């Protein structure tokens, strides 16, 4: 497929509206930083030109480039430019703990180059190689001198994304750019996004949901608003300052409700989207605060968009994630419209990096592992997601990696990590630990904090003499969750 | 500085420390830099809202909404304490 699709989309928007704002980025230090379509296109083209030039000198296959896509225009231009030049790009969220974790799958792609904001390189410094042979570059340095040629005729790069891994370590999914763009186009169509819209993506754009929102804005010529560092005040300011479409999570809507309730509905917001977990059963106060109902989106990193409530749909049953998106076929393994869901979608991934194992059935269906119900009208209800993943405010954390890092602490003898729902329906991450004599919980948590992002560090720790294991030696998470819910475990 | 709310600052630092399972935060230590996330921030506000000394003042619906909006940008004990004083 032609490679310049996203880049040529930017060019067309640049030709139509060069001085209009393409990306507004809310930053704590500098307020709103605005980038026009002309600037965004030039930056992306320059990244592409540099990469094409660099590849002309390279021999053999090139490793994927890791890009920290933090939502700044520079990070978006870097991603767009690289894939246009035919380079595979592994997307990382800002401050990802995967870079410094030698056991994380990021290192299995053997990246030679990591591009991110200034400071990412640490003491090594941008442009120098680490002992492991990785070179860190800033967005600014990773460009061609002015006037490079845009690439033509090369194959587009793949988009690689991290997925939490419900039964093991996190894995890396491979998506052709065309599938990612299909996701963006579906959002554009389903939510009627045009260049008059302002799409506020209040979730990380390095993950599939935020990326789809990003692509929908770029392909529509709409203004994209991002929040590289989360701030409710900046988000609220963005909402009252012209946002027409909001991409959030259940937690985000929960946080916004009391704030917006005191101020009255946002004037321009017409579509509020939520993904990442179930919305609370009663959404009346959220709807009143926003002035529009929250429409749920259901999808996975592997399969892309599966179901949603489009803008044109005005009534749907409470709790439903809408109906199957265009081109999506649902298949249940049970009778009566309930069962484990397999899907065939136009955004299906190619597979996991480093694995040749087929990920879909011969007729193209991917097993989501989720339990769903589809009612006679076609509305989909997600009854249960893959079991062991902990959903921390919409961010999926696989327990295996956290357990491995806990066990790296010399005072931790055994560890299991599991999610527990709080009174406000948000999940917290709990860890049950067997500790060596003299080891304190605060030391263990400090150790975790030195290696993980805050949301990946267990919120509660239970110290046990031994972990409950079944005859196969597998820890019984269900028993631990029940014990926590019945107040039988001391917490700290 | 007039009426610097030292007590509130101490209370906030202690509560933030409890939520992070560590000692109290220093007045200028940033809660999110110290390991706080959105869920822990909510818990800080909930604990402040029922705190025996400051709960009456910080537990009202209006104040909790204000704190929620403020904590992400005023994430240190002294920052949040000044924010409360300025908006009281």
Number of domains present in the structure of chain B? 1
Joined tokens for residue A482: 């029940």
* A81 has pLDDT over 70: yes
Could you count the other beta carbons within 10 Å of the beta carbon of residue B23? 11
B2 pLDDT band, cuts 50/70/90, is: very low
Structure ipTM: 0.91
Mean per-residue pLDDT, A61-88: 92
Option in A231, A441, A459 nearest B40 (CB):
A459
Dihedral sign (CA A7, A12, A13, A15): positive
- Chain-centroid distance of CA B84 in Å reads 9
The alpha carbon of residue A258 is apart from the nearest alpha carbon of chain B, in Å, by: 6
> Which class in CATH covers the domain with range A398-485?
alpha beta
Q: Quick check: helix, strand or coil at residue A147?
A: coil
Mean per-residue pLDDT, A457-480: 90
The DSSP symbol for A2 reads B
Mean per-residue pLDDT, A401-429: 94
* Most confident listed range (A24-28, A354-358, A461-465): A461-465
Mean pLDDT of all residues belonging to chain A: 91
Cβ of B36 under 8 Å from any chain A Cβ? yes
Largest CA distance in chain A: 68
pLDDT tens-digit map of A8-20: 889 999 999 999 9
A450 pLDDT band, cuts 50/70/90, is: very high
Helix (H) or strand (E) holding A326: none
In whole angstroms, give the CA distance from residue B58 to residue B50.
8
Cβ of B65 under 8 Å from any chain A Cβ? yes
The DSSP string of A92-131 is E-TT-TTSS-TTSGGGGG--SEEEESTTTTGGG-TTSB-T
Q: 3-state DSSP: chain B helix, strand, coil percent, rounded to 5?
A: 60, 0, 40
CB A181 within 8 A of CB A68: no
Mean per-residue pLDDT, A442-446: 97
A1 pLDDT band, cuts 50/70/90, is: very low
* A317 has pLDDT over 60: yes
Cβ of B22 under 8 Å from any chain A Cβ? yes
Mean per-residue pLDDT, A104-122: 88
Option in A233, A449, A457 nearest B69 (CB):
A233
Query: What share of chain A in percent tops pLDDT 70?
Result: 95
The alpha carbon of residue A337 is apart from the nearest alpha carbon of chain B, in Å, by: 35
Give chain B positions within 8 Å (CB) of A455. 37-39
* A489 has pLDDT over 50: yes
Question: Which residue of B lies nearest to A452 if distances are taken between CA atoms?
Answer: B35
pLDDT computed for residue B30 by the predictor: 97
In whole angstroms, give the CA distance from residue A342 to residue A329.
8
pLDDT computed for residue B1 by the predictor: 45
In whole angstroms, give the CA distance from residue A191 to residue A245.
9
pLDDT computed for residue A254 by the predictor: 93
* A38 has pLDDT over 60: yes
pLDDT tens-digit map of B65-87: 999 999 999 999 999 999 999 98
pLDDT computed for residue A165 by the predictor: 66
A156 pLDDT band, cuts 50/70/90, is: confident
Give chain A positions within 8 Å (CB) of B73. 28, 231, 233-234
The alpha carbon of residue A22 is apart from the nearest alpha carbon of chain B, in Å, by: 26
Cross-strand partners of A226: A25, A201
State whether B65 and A446 contact (CB < 8 Å): no
Mean per-residue pLDDT, A342-349: 97
pLDDT computed for residue A70 by the predictor: 95
Q: Which of A174-183, A322-331, A473-482 has the lowest mean pLDDT?
A: A473-482
Q: Which of A73-82, A211-220, A381-390 has the lowest mean pLDDT?
A: A381-390
The DSSP symbol for B25 reads P
Option in B37, B64, B69 nearest A232 (CB):
B69
CATH of A2-310, one of 3.40.50.300, 3.20.20.70, 3.90.1300.10, 3.40.50.12780: 3.40.50.12780
The alpha carbon of residue B59 is apart from the nearest alpha carbon of chain A, in Å, by: 13
pLDDT computed for residue A61 by the predictor: 62
A56 pLDDT band, cuts 50/70/90, is: low
State whether B73 and A454 contact (CB < 8 Å): no
Option in A259, A422, A446 nearest B69 (CB):
A259
Q: Quick check: helix, strand or coil at residue A305?
A: strand
* Most confident listed range (A57-66, A366-375, A478-487): A366-375
Print the domain residue range for B61: 5-87
Domain boundaries, chain A: 2-310, 398-485
A449 pLDDT band, cuts 50/70/90, is: very high
pLDDT tens-digit map of A224-248: 999 998 899 999 999 999 999 999 9
pLDDT tens-digit map of B15-69: 999 999 999 999 999 999 999 999 999 999 999 999 999 999 999 999 999 999 9
A2 pLDDT band, cuts 50/70/90, is: very low
Query: What share of chain A in percent tops pLDDT 90?
Result: 72
State whether A426 and B39 contact (CB < 8 Å): yes
* A478 vs A456: which has the higher pLDDT: A456
Option in A230, A231, A457 nearest B35 (CB):
A457
Question: Which residue of A lies nearest to B75 if distances are taken between CA atoms?
Answer: A231
In whole angstroms, give the CA distance from residue A234 to residue B73.
9
Domain CATH for B20: 1.10.1200.10
């Amino acid at each position: 497929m032609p490679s310049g699709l996203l880049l040529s989309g930017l060019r067309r928007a640049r030709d139509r509206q060069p001085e209009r704002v393409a990306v507004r980025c809310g930053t704590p230090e500098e307020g709103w930083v605005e980038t026009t379509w002309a600037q965004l296109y030039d930056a992306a083209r320059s990244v592409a030109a540099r990469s094409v030039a660099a590849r002309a000198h390279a021999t053999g296959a090139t490793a994927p480039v890791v890009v920290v896509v933090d939502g700044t225009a520079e990070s978006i231009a870097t991603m767009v430019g690289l894939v246009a030049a035919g380079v595979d790009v592994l997307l990382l969220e800002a401050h990802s703990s995967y870079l410094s974790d030698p056991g994380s799958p990021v290192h299995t792609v053997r990246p030679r180059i990591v591009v991110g904001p200034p400071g990412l390189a640490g003491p090594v410094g941008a442009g120098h190689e680490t002992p492991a042979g990785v070179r860190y570059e800033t967005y600014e340095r990773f460009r061609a001198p002015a006037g490079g040629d845009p690439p033509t005729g090369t194959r587009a790069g793949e988009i690689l994304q991290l997925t939490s891994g419900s039964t093991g370590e996190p894995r890396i999914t491979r998506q052709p750019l065309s599938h990612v763009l299909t996701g963006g186009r579906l959002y554009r169509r389903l939510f009627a996004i045009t260049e008059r819209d302002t799409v506020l993506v209040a979730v990380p754009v390095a993950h599939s949901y935020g990326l789809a929102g990003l692509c929908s804005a770029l392909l529509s010529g709409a203004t994209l608003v991002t929040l590289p560092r989360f701030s409710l005040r900046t988000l609220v300011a963005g909402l009252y300052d012209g946002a027409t479409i909001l991409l959030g999570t259940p937690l985000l809507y929960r946080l916004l409700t009391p704030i917006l309730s005191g101020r009255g509905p946002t004037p321009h917001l017409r579509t509020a989207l939520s993904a990442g977990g179930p919305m609370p059963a009663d959404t009346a106060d959220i709807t009143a605060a926003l002035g529009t109902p929250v429409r749920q989106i259901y999808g996975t990193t592997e399969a892309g968009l599966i179901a949603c409530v489009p803008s044109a749909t005005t009534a749907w049953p409470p709790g439903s994630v809408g109906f199957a998106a265009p081109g999506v076929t649902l298949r249940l393994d049970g009778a009566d419209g309930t069962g484990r869901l397999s899907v065939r979608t136009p955004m299906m991934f190619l597979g996991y990096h480093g694995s040749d194992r087929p990920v879909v059935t011969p007729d193209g269906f991917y097993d989501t592992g989720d339990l769903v119900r589809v009612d006679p009208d076609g509305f989909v209800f997600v009854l249960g997601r893959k079991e062991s993943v902990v959903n921390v405010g919409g961010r999926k954390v696989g327990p295996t990696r956290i357990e491995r890092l806990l066990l790296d602490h010399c005072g931790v003898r055994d560890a299991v990590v599991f999610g527990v729902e709080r009174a406000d329906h948000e999940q917290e991450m709990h860890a049950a630990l067997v500790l060596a004599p003299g080891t304190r919980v605060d030391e263990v948590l400090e150790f975790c904090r030195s290696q993980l992002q805050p949301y990946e560090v267990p919120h509660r720790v239970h110290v046990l003499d031994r972990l409950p294991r079944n005859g196969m030696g597998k820890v019984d998470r269900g028993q631990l969750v029940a014990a926590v819910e019945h107040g039988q475990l001391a917490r700290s | 500085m007039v009426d610097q709310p030292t007590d509130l600052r101490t209370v906030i630092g202690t509560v933030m420390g409890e939520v992070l399972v560590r000692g109290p935060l220093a007045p200028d230590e940033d809660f999110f830099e110290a390991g706080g996330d959105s869920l822990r921030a909510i818990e800080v506000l909930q604990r402040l809202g029922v705190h025996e000394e400051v709960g009456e003042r910080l537990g009202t619906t209006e104040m909790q909404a204000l704190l929620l909006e403020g904590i992400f940008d005023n994430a240190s004990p002294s920052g949040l304490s000044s924010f409360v004083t300025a908006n009281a």
